[in-house]
């Protein structure tokens, strides 16, 4: 919590009266890549094309660009994106999002990327676990389902995300060799124990299993960032007490019945602000250390 307070203090300095140049002249061209946890579906105001990408002008990349006064900002994040959509067009409602890598240039000097949740089948996992929990709210039917046969299927999917993210980071470096690349992890959805069924439709016994795998996914993202000399921001530990089971004024992620404008099971505006704030030290000082 002390770290979070220090970051908020730093942010207050950054958003002081506007200057003609970005702080320290660090960044001129910023490209944001990612999926819906970057784009911000349902958070006002929804901007950009195609509409199916559901980008918000209050998502964490937009906030970073504003706070750091970066002159050239391009957000190509798109809801539903997987790692393959970095290099291939993504069909969405209302059109096609071009390959996200198309936005990268040789002079791009900041890139943030949050990707991997859809590669591991995040939506399918929630649907499956929700269906199972409807018949067994106190047990761990989801864990039993995905570990049937003695192998943890979700853990295997997370391991499979690693090589895909590795290829993404190689692709960014090839196209923008001078960029400070920042991999951003995912927010907490559930507490480490307990449940708030049906707001988040997981059985009580499956909550620790979901928490363990959520931590594992973020750990894999962090490990790949380290291997590729990229920075890593992990908001997960800081979102303790801000999961979807909390009161409306505390939650950073919404459940099945949102109490703030946001998509189901996705960050709200507070969550985006938190990720942005937590990213500031890494984005600033990580660059200074390079």
pLDDT in tens, 60-81: 999 999 999 999 999 999 999 9
Is 44 within 8 Å of 58 (Cβ atoms)? Answer: yes
Residue 145: C-alpha distances to residues 123, 188, 267 (Å): 16, 22, 27
Task: For residue 238, tell me if it sits in a domain.
Answer: yes
Task: For residue 204, tell me if it sits in a domain.
Answer: no
Residue 112: C-alpha distances to residues 34, 86, 101, 169 (Å): 8, 13, 12, 11
Task: For residue 5, tell me if it sits in a domain.
Answer: no
Task: For residue 256, tell me if it sits in a domain.
Answer: yes
Task: For residue 109, tell me if it sits in a domain.
Answer: yes
Per the model's pLDDT, the better-predicted residue between 59 and 18 turns out to be 59
Task: For residue 144, tell me if it sits in a domain.
Answer: no
What does the alpha-carbon distance between residue 222 and residue 230 come to, in Å, rounded to a whole number? 9
**Residue 14: its pLDDT value, please?**
43
Within 147-268, residue ranges assigned H as helices are 153-175, 207-227
| Pairing, β 110-114 against β 180-184 | parallel
Q: What CATH number does residue 72 fall under?
A: 3.40.50.1110
Per DSSP (E only), the strands in 93-179 are: 95-97, 110-114
What does the alpha-carbon distance between residue 70 and residue 64 come to, in Å, rounded to a whole number? 8
**Residue 179: its pLDDT value, please?**
98
Locate 12 and state its tokens: 């207050």
Give the domain range for residue 220.
Answer: 25-119+161-188+211-289
pLDDT over threshold 80, residue 167 = yes
What does the alpha-carbon distance between residue 236 and residue 254 come to, in Å, rounded to a whole number? 15
Task: For residue 257, tell me if it sits in a domain.
Answer: yes
pLDDT over threshold 50, residue 22 = no
Q: Residue 185, SS3?
A: coil
Task: For residue 9, tell me if it sits in a domain.
Answer: no
pTM of the shown model? 0.93
What does the alpha-carbon distance between residue 88 and residue 58 come to, in Å, rounded to a whole number? 26
Please give the backbone phi and psi of residue 16, each rounded to the nearest 5 degrees, phi first.
-65, 175
Instruction: Give residue 258's Cα distance to chain centre.
Output: 18
List pLDDT tens digits, range 204-253. Answer: 999 999 999 999 999 999 999 999 999 999 999 999 999 999 999 999 99
Band (pLDDT 50/70/90 cuts) for residue 286 is: confident
Enumerate the active-site residues.
Answer: 36, 266
**Residue 20: its pLDDT value, please?**
40
Locate 115 and state its tokens: 């990707």
**Residue 2: its pLDDT value, please?**
47
Q: What is the mean pLDDT of residues 82-94?
A: 98
Domain count, the chain: 1
Is 119 within 8 Å of 186 (Cβ atoms)? Answer: no
């Amino acid at each position: 919590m002390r770290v979070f307070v220090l970051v908020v203090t730093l942010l207050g300095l950054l958003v002081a009266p506007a200057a003609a140049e970005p702080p320290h002249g660090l960044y001129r061209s910023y490209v944001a890549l990612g999926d819906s946890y970057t784009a911000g579906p349902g958070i006002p105001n929804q901007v950009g094309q195609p509409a199916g990408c559901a980008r918000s002008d209050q998502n964490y990349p937009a906030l970073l660009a504003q706070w750091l006064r970066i002159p050239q900002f391009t957000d190509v994040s798109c809801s539903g994106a997987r790692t393959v959509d970095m290099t291939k067009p993504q069909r969405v409602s209302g059109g096609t999002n071009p390959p996200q890598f198309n936005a990268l240039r040789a002079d791009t000097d900041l890139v943030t990327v949050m990707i991997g949740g859809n590669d591991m089948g995040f939506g399918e996992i929630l649907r499956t676990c929700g269906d199972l929990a409807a018949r067994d709210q106190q047990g761990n039917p989801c864990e039993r389902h995905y570990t049937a046969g003695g192998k943890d299927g979700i853990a295997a999917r997370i391991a499979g995300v690693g090589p895909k993210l590795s290829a993404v980071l190689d692709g960014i470096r090839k196209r923008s060799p001078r960029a400070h690349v920042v991999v951003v992890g995912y927010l907490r959805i559930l507490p480490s124990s307990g449940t708030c069924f049906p707001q988040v439709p997981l059985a009580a016994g499956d909550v620790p299993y979901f928490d363990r795998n959520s931590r594992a996914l973020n750990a894999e993202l962090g490990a790949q960032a380290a291997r590729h000399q990229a920075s890593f921001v992990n908001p997960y530990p800081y979102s303790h007490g801000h999961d979807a089971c909390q009161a409306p004024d505390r939650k950073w992620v919404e459940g099945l019945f949102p109490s703030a404008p946001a998509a189901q099971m996705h960050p709200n505006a507070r969550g985006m602000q938190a990720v942005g704030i937590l990213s500031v030290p890494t984005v600033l000082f990580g660059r200074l250390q390079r």
